[in-house]
């Protein structure tokens, strides 16, 4: 038994003496290394890796999905500039040219407004069908156009989902635009459609609820057109008259969308 168990100090009570002895023994115990105070210290939160799959991510880097109705919104598509265009073919007419995939095809379309005495390549109003690898016409091109909006009594609610400037020496700046629109026509069921187009940049900004042409101005006296067709949506399993906004975002992920977008961005004026 410890000698200090029954000792007194300067006449002080035994209880106080015992307390002093216990404190002294605890101090000796700690100094002797028998106890490690560090094991009782709380964890420093700055040294704890709470992310077992790698370093912390910024909020903008975390994968994110957003529900829109019954469909999931998807990220923006891979930029068309990154599409590998090695081995692509070139189509040229009327001083304009663009590139297209080798398994696609450009076909002359029957054109009621074309010059019947001119060969297709010599006629600026010839309509050219752009067909994908499955032979579906997913877009059309006219070096010049005389189309208009006469007779269109519909009103439009438009949403631009993507817009990319075309780096070409055109008479007026142009951009490739993907637009979703809700179409209300008197006496008809409401429709929802999409349109990928090479369009005049200033004209894009003025597109409102009224009917509007899709065109670009590559050079003097030319109002050219290059737009997607209804087959772009139909080929992916969507009804061309009932494409929801969520469906439109899915179309943006498709191979044909990305390739067609790259085709439009490749448009140039020949020197």
pLDDT tens, 203-246? 999 999 999 999 999 999 999 999 999 999 999 999 999 999 99
Separation CA 112–CA 147 (nearest Å):
12
pLDDT tens, 15-70? 444 544 455 554 554 444 444 444 444 444 333 333 332 333 333 333 333 333 33
DSSP β-bridge partners for residue 130: 106, 139
* Helix (H) / strand (E) containing 30: helix 14-31
DSSP β-bridge partners for residue 178: 162, 196
Q: Which of 145, 164, 151, 238 has its CA nearest to residue 194?
A: 238
Helices (H), the chain: 14-31, 201-205, 231-234, 245-251, 255-265
Q: Which of 220, 10, 206, 226 has its CA nearest to residue 106?
A: 226
* Region of 40 on the Ramachandran plot (φ > 0 left; ψ -120 to 50 alpha; else beta): alpha
CA 246 to chain centre: 12
């Amino acid at each position: 038994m410890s000698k200090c168990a029954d000792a007194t100090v300067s006449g002080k009570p035994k209880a106080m003496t015992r307390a002093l002895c216990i404190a002294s023994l605890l101090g000796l115990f700690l100094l002797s290394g028998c106890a490690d105070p560090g094991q009782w210290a709380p964890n420093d939160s700055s040294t704890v890796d709470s992310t077992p799959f790698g370093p912390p991510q910024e909020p903008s880097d975390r994968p994110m999905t957003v529900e829109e109705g019954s469909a999931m919104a998807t990220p923006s598509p891979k930029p068309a500039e990154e599409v590998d265009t090695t081995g692509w073919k070139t189509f040229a007419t009327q001083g304009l040219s663009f590139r297209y995939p080798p398994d696609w095809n450009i076909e002359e379309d029957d054109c009621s407004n074309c010059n019947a005495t001119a060969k297709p390549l010599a006629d600026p109003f010839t309509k050219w069908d752009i067909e994908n690898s499955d032979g579906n016409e997913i877009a059309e091109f006219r070096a010049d156009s005389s189309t208009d909006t006469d007779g269109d009594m519909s009103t439009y609610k438009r949403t631009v989902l993507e817009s990319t400037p075309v780096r070409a020496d055109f008479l007026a700046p142009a951009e490739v635009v993907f637009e979703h629109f809700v179409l209300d026509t008197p006496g008809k069921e409401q429709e929802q459609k999409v349109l990928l187009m090479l369009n005049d940049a200033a004209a894009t900004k003025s597109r409102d609820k009224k009917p509007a042409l899709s065109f670009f101005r590559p050079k003097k006296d030319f109002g050219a057109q290059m737009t997607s067709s209804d087959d772009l949506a139909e080929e992916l399993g969507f009804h061309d008259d009932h494409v929801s906004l969520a469906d439109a975002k899915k179309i943006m992920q498709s191979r044909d969308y990305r390739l067609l977008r790259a085709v439009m961005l490749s448009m140039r004026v020949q020197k």
